Structure 1
Amino acid sequence: MPFRCGVKDHKFHITQHFSYYIGRHSWNNSTLKLNYAISRNHTISYIKFSDVRLALRSAFAVWSSAIPVKFKETRDYEHANITIGFFYGDHGDGSPFEDNVIAHAIIGPGKGMIRFNLALTFAVDFSSEESDMAFDLETVAVHEIGHVLGLGHSSYPEAVMWPYSSPRTTNVELTSDDAYGAQILYDSNPDFDIDSLKPLNSASKSFGLKEIITISVSLVVAAVSNGFRYYEFLC
């Protein structure tokens, strides 16, 4: 059974290799400061909460380096723009976790949610985590934050928005595909350093913002064996 992101790809509008939810869902451009809250009731027992916070803070910083959106942690879980938690199976959001789903993101008007599959093992430091099936928490968080910002999946395997992930791997550096996709929605961070982007391999086409052409087709991603999937849906 292939493991990948369980998102229904036909719900996305693709632009070059990155994609958007139909309607190009994004936060109001006047709302450039978003609060996020991590559930203290639905968290991981084997990772210090302080380490979970640091991993998520780093994940949000990855995106704010490219776009003029600032993220700030708050303890007000009920009123936070983005809520984050770790859950088992059927956790009440209408999309029960399957064993091969790492996480999912839910986005809607004025609200975003990120849910990690507590049945899996996460890590913030592979040197201290012995499990061969552990997933890097920051890597998964970077991917899901991209969805909360309005991005769909990329067909570039190097992109953080590629829908597959494998245990004991990290991918927290934006490619041009990730950055340009987000910048079309939110503009560019004035301090953005294009040289900080992870280069695409020689088989991938590099393109600039002015070269991007919208293509009205559905994104179809071939199944990849032995890869876990993310899962996202638009509410």
Structure 2
Amino acid sequence: MEGSLEVLESQHSIAMFRTLDTAGPLASSLPPTLVWGGRMNGNPGEVFHGIGSVPVLKKGDKYPYFKKVETFLQRFGYLDRAQHPSQGVLTEEVSDALERYQKLHALSVTGEFDEETRAQMTTSRCGMADPGSSLTYVTVCPWDRTNLTFSFTSGTSDVLGDEEFGAVRNAFETWALSTPLTFTEVSAGSNPDIAVGWHPTIAYDHDMTGDVVAHSDNPPDCSILDFGPPQPLHFDNGEQYWAIGEEPGAYDVESVALHEIGHLIGLDHSSNPAAVMFSQLNPNSIRRSLWPDDLIGALTLYPFQP
């Protein structure tokens, strides 16, 4: 989601990929790519400081601050940091990584660091890494049961009363209505499967500075953060504004929660810009309805029993 929703950098070698036909009516009805705009310390800011000042580059070009772009590609799963340390050069490998990034984000696939790619990289996004190829839905792993519990650990003063909790409950209910999953709210001291809360930008389990609007994790058997259970659903309460519905400069709690719950039940990012599991979302917008893309992925993990 374009403020960034994250599960952490990873090459997702454990992911199991399944494709959905993108040539049919679903693909033809997709809206334009959605993005999130972030802010840093209350001011409009870039996802990664410095990327916006990197000029347009072609394969073979060198530029010191291009290392910022390489770091971005490493963080979100397009380059292996160990095998490709940042050099400030647009190499063949980096060009291939840019092509994968461009394809997944519905950009012109050039393999170059062009203006369109720079603009996309300087918007906020989901903190979870992207899958390794341009697929529609991507599954990682399921829970070993379908009856899950959740609790709230903290809220946000951006929203009146405790409406943020109701918005998260609505997001859980949306997934429950279309799958065999159930989500039961319990007290924080009842060993919940999922802990929901608003945290400082630099939280105990993940740094959400700059680009990450919220983050969660996969189910325990394929956890990336590996702090749980409970598995986290954490909203950035330091650099981001939160709202119920559309509000300029703010993110809709329910829309972000719906995406993060998708990660929590075992879904990775989708390449479908209309899907809840697409990595980006504009502030002042909502995305509260599951698309067939989201549902097929969830039901692959949790099929209804006859």
TM over 0.5: yes
Q: Which runs of 4+ in 1 moved over 6 A?
A: none
Measure the CA separation in 2 of the matches of 1:27 and 1:35. 12
Report if the CA contact (8 A) 1:160-1:171 is conserved: yes
User: Is residue 235 of structure 2 the alignment partner of residue 116 of structure 1?
Assistant: yes
- Residues 144-183 of structure 1: matches in 2 within 5 Å? 144-183=260-299
Pair 44,152 (structure 1): closer, same or farther in 2 beyond 3 Å: same
Report if the CA contact (8 A) 1:77-1:83 is conserved: no
Q: Which residue of 2 aligns with 1:187?
A: 303
CA drift of 1:13 comes to 3.5
For the residue of structure 2 that corresponds to 1:65, the secondary structure is: helix
CA drift of 1:136 comes to 0.4
Counterpart pick for 2:156 among 44, 56, 63: 44
Measure the CA separation in 1 of the matches of 2:243 and 2:302. 31
Deviations 1:99-150 (A, max 9, x none): 2211111232454211111120010143xx5xx2100000000000000000
CA drift of 1:43 comes to 1.7
Q: Which residue of 1 aligns with 2:195?
A: 83
For the residue of structure 2 that corresponds to 1:98, the secondary structure is: coil
For the residue of structure 2 that corresponds to 1:79, the secondary structure is: coil
For the residue of structure 2 that corresponds to 1:85, the secondary structure is: strand
Measure the CA separation in 2 of the matches of 1:78 and 1:103. 24
Report if the CA contact (8 A) 2:142-2:266 is conserved: yes
Measure the CA separation in 1 of the matches of 2:242 and 2:189. 22
CA drift of 1:75 comes to 1.6
Higher alpha-carbon Rg: 2
CA RMSD of aligned residues (A): 2.1
CA drift of 1:3 comes to 5.4
Pair 175,53 (structure 1): closer, same or farther in 2 beyond 3 Å: same
For the residue of structure 2 that corresponds to 1:167, the secondary structure is: coil
Q: Which has the higher contact order (CA 8 A, sep 6+)?
A: 1
Q: Give the number of equivalent residue pairs.
A: 177
Q: Which residue of 2 aligns with 1:13?
A: 16
Measure the CA separation in 2 of the matches of 1:116 and 1:160. 17
For the residue of structure 1 that corresponds to 2:178, the secondary structure is: coil
CA drift of 1:188 comes to 3.5
For the residue of structure 1 that corresponds to 2:235, the secondary structure is: strand
Measure the CA separation in 2 of the matches of 1:9 and 1:3. 19
Pair 60,189 (structure 1): closer, same or farther in 2 beyond 3 Å: farther
Report if the CA contact (8 A) 2:155-2:162 is conserved: no
Letter in 1 for 2:201: G
Identity of aligned residues (%): 27
Measure the CA separation in 1 of the matches of 2:191 and 2:286. 31
Structure 2 residues without counterparts, runs of 5 or longer: 20-135, 222-228
TM-score by length of 1: 0.69
Counterpart pick for 2:216 among 102, 105, 113: 105
Measure the CA separation in 2 of the matches of 1:83 and 1:54. 15
Measure the CA separation in 1 of the matches of 2:138 and 2:193. 23
For the residue of structure 2 that corresponds to 1:35, the secondary structure is: strand
Structure 1 residues without counterparts, runs of 5 or longer: 191-235
Report if the CA contact (8 A) 2:158-2:243 is conserved: no
Measure the CA separation in 1 of the matches of 2:186 and 2:198. 17
